Chains A and B, each alone.
Chain A
Amino acid sequence: EPEVTQTPSHQVTQMGQEVILRCVPISNHLYFYWYRQILGQKVEFLVSFYNNEISEKSEIFDDQFSVERPDGSNFTLKIRSTKLEDSAMYFCASSASYRNEQFFGPGTRLTVL
């Protein structure tokens, strides 16, 4: 059964450093998403991406964040200068069509020291 994969599973970084989180969505899906979940809190939408551009972004997704689909399979989230409060689980998701059900990856746990 096809699934969304994410790497790394755990990333530890120093405050102020750049990190890139990687995702491989399900191959025939066209819509891609990033979410984050701070420990013990709800899953929060960050950004959706379709046709090589951002469709919608939340208030969390400020200038420190960017997304890219550098090739036909990867979808990345970059945080330019990490802050302590960026520590969270980051989930990638993909869906086949607009507003269709989304399938989530296992997440990357980001720890900013």
Chain B
Amino acid sequence: TQLLEQSPQFLSIQEGENLTVYCNSSSVFSSLQWYRQEPGEGPVLLVTVVTGGEVKKLKRLTFQFGDARKDSSLHITAAQPGDTGLYLCAGAGNNDMRFGAGTRLTVKP
């Protein structure tokens, strides 16, 4: 079973601060996806990373896939209250996808 560990589990910061959350595994993934989930709703895809070392930017969000394709990070610059939510990473296996437990981010105004 491929396990994904996300850290930190909870993060509370002030508006304008930068932050990084991590997704780590001992397994290699063919791709890794980051989702954001609001309470009572389904995960919403943010980005997919496929190539080791790949960096993708989505406005103030920067996603990086580790060279060995075992880990990933999400960096948010100048966080805003609207960034508050649960950030999930998920790694693609053979015919399934395994999720981490998520990082719950709170950005205070």
Residues of A bordering B, CB below 8 Å:
4, 31, 33, 35, 41-45, 48, 50, 55-56, 58, 89, 91, 93, 98-107, 109
Contact = CB atoms under 8 A, between A and B. Distances in A.
B97 A45 contact: yes
B103 to A, nearest CB: 12
Given A99-B30, A101-B33, A102-B33, A48 B95 contact: yes
B92 A99 contact: yes
30 contacts: A4-B42, A31-B95, A33-B96, A42-B88, A42-B99, A42-B100, A42-B101, A43-B37, A43-B43, A43-B88, A45-B97, A45-B99, A48-B96, A56-B94, A89-B40, A91-B42, A91-B43, A98-B95, A99-B30, A99-B92, A101-B31, A102-B33, A104-B42, A104-B45, A105-B42, A106-B41, A106-B42, A107-B40, A107-B42, A109-B40
Nearest to A106: B42
B97 A102 contact: yes
A31 to B, nearest CB: 8
Interface of B: 30-31, 33, 35, 37, 40-45, 48, 88, 90, 92-102
Contacts, number: 59
Contacts of A42: 88, 99-102
A83 B45 CA distance: 31
Contacts of A107: 40-42
Contacts of B48: 100-101
A107 B37 CA distance: 12
Among A44, A55, A99, A100, find the residue whose CB has the most chain B CB atoms closer than 10 A: A99
B97 A33 contact: yes
Contacts of A102: 33, 45, 97
- The 4 A-B pairs at the shortest CB distance, nearest first, are namely A104-B42, A56-B95, A55-B95, A43-B99
Contacts of A105: 42
Contacts of B42: 4, 91, 93, 104-107
